[in-house]
Chain A
Amino acid sequence: MIETVVSMELPVDEKLTIRKNRIMPTHPSGEEKRIAIVTGTHGDELEGQFVCYELLRRLKAEPGYLKGIVDVYPALNPLGIDSITRGIPMFDLDMNRIFPGNEEGPMMESMVYRLTEDLKGADLCVDIHASNIFLMELPQVRINELTAETLVPLARKINVDFVWVHASATVLESTLAYSLNCVGTPTLVVEMGVGMRITKTYGYQLVEGILNVMKEMGVWEGSVGEVRTPVVSTDREVGYLNADSAGIYVPKIKIGEQVEKGALLGEILNPLTGDVEQAVTAPISGLVFTRREYPVVYSGSLLGRILGGVEK
């Protein structure tokens, strides 16, 4: 059933509405577990749209196997998605930096408060992101080290290639995931694919993973395909490639490739002079899990990330 989570009037003859689709088991007992699939916080990240569609299709195809409640929120930032805007149009702050919202705050903060209230109490929340328009990411779950103990076991089952446990930072305390994890709703952040595009293979991969986690939780009794075991980053080094010159970046490797330290990963070209401004080489050996897609770079632009082997 499609429900309105929160709705506010815009100035002229329109409402801003966040909606969800609640799928219930055929014979609810009142004791079901509930899982929430959320995406579309950043309006330029679309990978989650296909995941929502495909997951709903699978659930609706075999309704008898569903033993819990699944809430699907495809668009937390509908105005952003609809206008190819990463943030919230007309609002300064990133939507993923104002959680858990503020009932007494400006309009968007009060909307986020109501959204958080709606998500609270779910037994699991999966928040799907697609990096941004600049970077392609191998399907991965990102976990704040403070919540690693609870979340890593769940993340292992969601069919991603990689689980990245990262250091905590004060500024990240206002994300949806941090806020929900704080109030006891385990929330996994998935990053995969690239902004403004749909990578169907990644979509199918994650849907299989979500169904697998649902099966573990007793929410789904239908079939689940092969699920891969991810690499967990806890004891591994992550190497960052940042540009040191301005120009046009042309990568020479594919995402998911293993590279050796010092290998040529790409070049920053100067289209006016015909020179190579910088030959970009691998800072460490390992798996390329992030690759720059958008060619124009400044000094500092992220060109890629490499997951190193087990540290000695």
Chain B
Amino acid sequence: MRKTEIYNMKSPYREDLKISGYSFGHGRKSACIVGSIRGNEVQQLYVCSQIVRKLEELEAANAITADREILVVPSVNHHAMNIGKRFWPVDNTDINRMFPGYDLGETTQRIAAGVFEKVKDYDYGIQFASFYMPGDFIPHVRMMDTGKQNTSLAGLFGLPYVVVRKPKPIDTTTLNYNWQIWDTNAFSLYTMETDFIDEVSARQAVSAVLRFLTRMGILKYNSHNGYISTVIGEEELTSVRTSCGGIYRRLCHPGDEVHMGMPLAEIVHPYEGNVISTVLSPTEGIVFFTHKKPLVTENEVIFKIIRRLHE
């Protein structure tokens, strides 16, 4: 295990922003794993730290294939994490919307450029990300439909689902999208949590990465085969919305099988305590995403359901 400096930036009043990488094995740039790019991605940081620990053991046991190098970057934006913010503390810009970056540009463009310089040119890029809609997901691999994505490779993580998303203009500045444009096979892994640590899905994510690296011939590691992933397009998910605002009571969870007309959630009057709306499932299928926070507005997407799929 070799700890290296990926990027360093001076700060006017704090310690320098030091972005660190951990390299394992030598030779061909095979896999790069990036953890938290946003300051609230604590689960993502935790998962990476556990991967580093595991890879250190495996490297000591000579389990990394010859001529294969793995780089892990656990955290990019700890300047935000250390003070409880999600985005770059000074101007609130999102480093994950600055790729491929620009080394003569604005601060977060420079950080993105510095990081991208070191994480590009790998065969596989794996990012632990979080979605812009906060809530709980079934653990899955997410890929951007750039025409270069390879969903059968994504299935080798052995997570239950692979979701393919058509990129919107705003997605073209993410790490995942730019990895793919620069010919790295890119995968974003979503576990249950972001701001808190969920041990079960963290272990599942660590196993998924080790399983993938083994199947790609980068690592020698015996692991359970995992799932045979179901590939779904994001547009195939049915969104379920609220008809009013209030206190949200969740009745179903990600992974639950639901049938048409089944109550998914209740909205409770914030003063009087009675149920003012019961949100019913418009379809049969498996719950993919649920809103989690205790309050909801009107017309918010609180559930996404994989239509007509059964356990």
Contact = CB atoms under 8 A, between A and B. Distances in A.
B301 to A, nearest CB: 5
B61 interface: no
B297 A16 contact: yes
A132 B90 CA distance: 12
Interface in A165-193: 170-174
A298 interface: yes
B169 A171 contact: yes
Interface in A229-265: 240, 242, 245-248
A300 interface: yes
Contact of B12 (A10, A92, A105, A297): A297
B12 A246 contact: yes
Contact of A11 (B105, B107, B245): B245
A297 B13 CA distance: 10
A107 B298 contact: yes
B244 A13 contact: no
B297 A87 contact: no
A92 B97 CA distance: 11
B137 to A, nearest CB: 15
A106 interface: yes
B273 to A, nearest CB: 13
Contact of B110 (A104, A111, A247, A300): A300
Contact of A93 (B91, B132, B298): B132
Given A11-B247, A174-B170, A110 B106 contact: no
Interface in A275-303: 296-302
A250 to B, nearest CB: 13
Contacts, number: 98
B224 interface: no
A86 interface: yes
Contacts of A299: 9-10, 107, 110
Given A11-B245, A174-B170, A296-B12, A106 B106 contact: no
A296 B169 contact: no
Nearest to A11: B295
Contacts of B172: 170-171
A97 interface: yes
A146 interface: no
B169 A107 contact: no
A2 interface: no
A134 B299 contact: no
Contacts of B296: 11
A279 to B, nearest CB: 17
Nearest to B248: A11
A206 to B, nearest CB: 26
A84 interface: no
A300 B109 contact: yes
A87 B169 CA distance: 18
Given A246-B12, A247-B12, A134 B91 contact: yes
Nearest to A91: B132
A182 to B, nearest CB: 12
A110 B245 contact: no
A298 B12 contact: yes
B107 to A, nearest CB: 4
A9 B169 contact: no
A213 to B, nearest CB: 29
A12 interface: yes
Nearest to A6: B299
Interface in B111-141: 132-133
Interface string B50-64: 000000000000000
B173 interface: yes
Interface string A20-64: 000000000000000000000000000000000000000000000
Given A106-B133, A171-B170, 19 more contacts: A9-B297, A9-B298, A11-B247, A16-B297, A87-B92, A92-B132, A132-B91, A170-B169, A171-B169, A246-B11, A248-B12, A296-B12, A297-B12, A298-B10, A298-B11, A300-B105, A300-B106, A301-B90, A301-B107
Interface of A: 8-13, 16, 86-87, 92-93, 97-98, 104-107, 110-111, 132, 134, 170-174, 240, 242, 245-248, 296-302
10 contacts: A11-B246, A11-B270, A13-B270, A86-B92, A171-B169, A171-B172, A173-B169, A174-B168, A246-B9, A246-B12
9 nearest CB pairs, A to B: A300-B107, A9-B245, A11-B295, A9-B298, A92-B132, A173-B169, A246-B12, A300-B110, A246-B10
